[in-house]
């Protein structure tokens, strides 16, 4: 899953692909590098970010999704927590809604997904993007993530979303400490076992915990740390990885997946 942020303020690539023309060029690059899915985001969810209105998010996302759906053979995901944006994105040609709140912010997203027969990524997070970096760590993070996602799955089912439409994401970096992020990756095999009926998505790409592990490495110097985290994630059960550096990630995943298959 290649990241395409059409935002001015995302932590890694904010402002780089803000216009439809820039976004299309970036999408073409991601596809050429081997992306299977393009995840379009119109609202930054970096720690400390401020929310945008549905109207602004729609203005950023819909023209890009329409253009990609019309001109490219690629699965399109849209990263949003708003039902209006989900509805418009699905109508424009998106096939997956990636909800970083796992329906906490707006459970009516599940209605839109059910109606469209689309995919739904349920990601665990704590607090909101504006507050999550200030939250104190919780004990037993795997238990917390498990309970929360089971609740989100039940809510999705109640709104008519079938199990086969759901992908789960433990939410690396969203209200977790450095140690808890590492613990979740190390414990991903247990997480995958608990939710064996669902594909598992992991997004570690360029995140701050990698920078901290690498003595304060800036965003642009976190590619090797990202690939190490992806390797660990795949070996422990990840089915999808969400990344900025698609070519490097695709090669990393091919090797890690071969090793995982041999081990089993």
Place of tokens 């990202």: 226
242 is catalytic: yes
Strand arrangement, sheet containing 96-99: 2-5, 37-41, 75-79, 96-99, 119-123, 166-169
Compute the Cα dihedral for 162, 157, 152, 105 and give only its sign: positive
**Two tokens at 192?**
């995958």
Catalytic position from the list 46, 87, 222, 242: 242
Distance of CA 104 to the CA centre of its chain: 16
Q: Phi and psi of 121, rounded to 5°?
A: -95, 120
How far is the C-alpha of 180 from the C-alpha of 209, rounded, in Å? 10
- For the chain, how big is the Rg over CA atoms in Å? 17
Catalytic position from the list 207, 212, 222, 261: 207
Question: Which own/partner pairs from 257-261 qualify as long-range (CB within 8 Å, at least 24 positions apart)?
Answer: 259/235, 260/234, 260/235
206 is catalytic: no
* Closest to 8 measured CA to CA, from 28, 22, 27, 29: 22
Residues noted as catalytic: 207, 242
């Amino acid at each position: 899953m290649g990241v395409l942020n059409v935002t001015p303020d995302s932590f890694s690539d904010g402002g780089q692909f803000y216009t439809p023309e820039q976004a299309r060029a970036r999408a073409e690059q991601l596809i050429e590098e081997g992306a299977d899915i393009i995840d379009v985001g119109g609202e930054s969810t970096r720690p400390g970010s401020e929310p945008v209105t549905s109207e602004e998010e729609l203005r950023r996302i819909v023209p890009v999704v329409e253009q990609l759906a019309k001109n490219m053979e690629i699965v399109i995901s849209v990263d949003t927590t708003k039902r209006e944006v989900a509805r418009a994105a699905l109508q424009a040609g998106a096939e997956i809604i990636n909800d970083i709140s796992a329906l906490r912010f707006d459970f009516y997203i599940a209605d839109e997904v059910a109606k469209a027969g689309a995919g739904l990524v349920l990601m665990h997070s704590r607090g909101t993007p504006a507050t999550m970096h200030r939250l104190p760590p919780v004990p037993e993070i795997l238990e917390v993530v498990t309970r929360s996602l089971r609740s989100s799955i039940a809510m999705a089912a109640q709104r008519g979303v079938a199990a086969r439409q759901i992908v789960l994401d433990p939410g690396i970096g969203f209200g977790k400490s450095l140690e808890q992020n590492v613990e979740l990756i190390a414990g991903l095999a247990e997480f995958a076992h608990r939710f064996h009926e669902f594909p598992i998505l992991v997004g570690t790409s360029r995140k701050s915990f990698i920078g901290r592990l690498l003595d304060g490495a800036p965003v642009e110097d976190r590619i090797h740390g990202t690939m190490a985290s992806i390797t660990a994630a795949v070996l422990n059960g990840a089915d999808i990885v969400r990344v900025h550096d698609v070519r490097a990630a695709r090669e990393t995943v091919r090797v890690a997946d071969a090793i995982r298959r041999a081990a089993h």
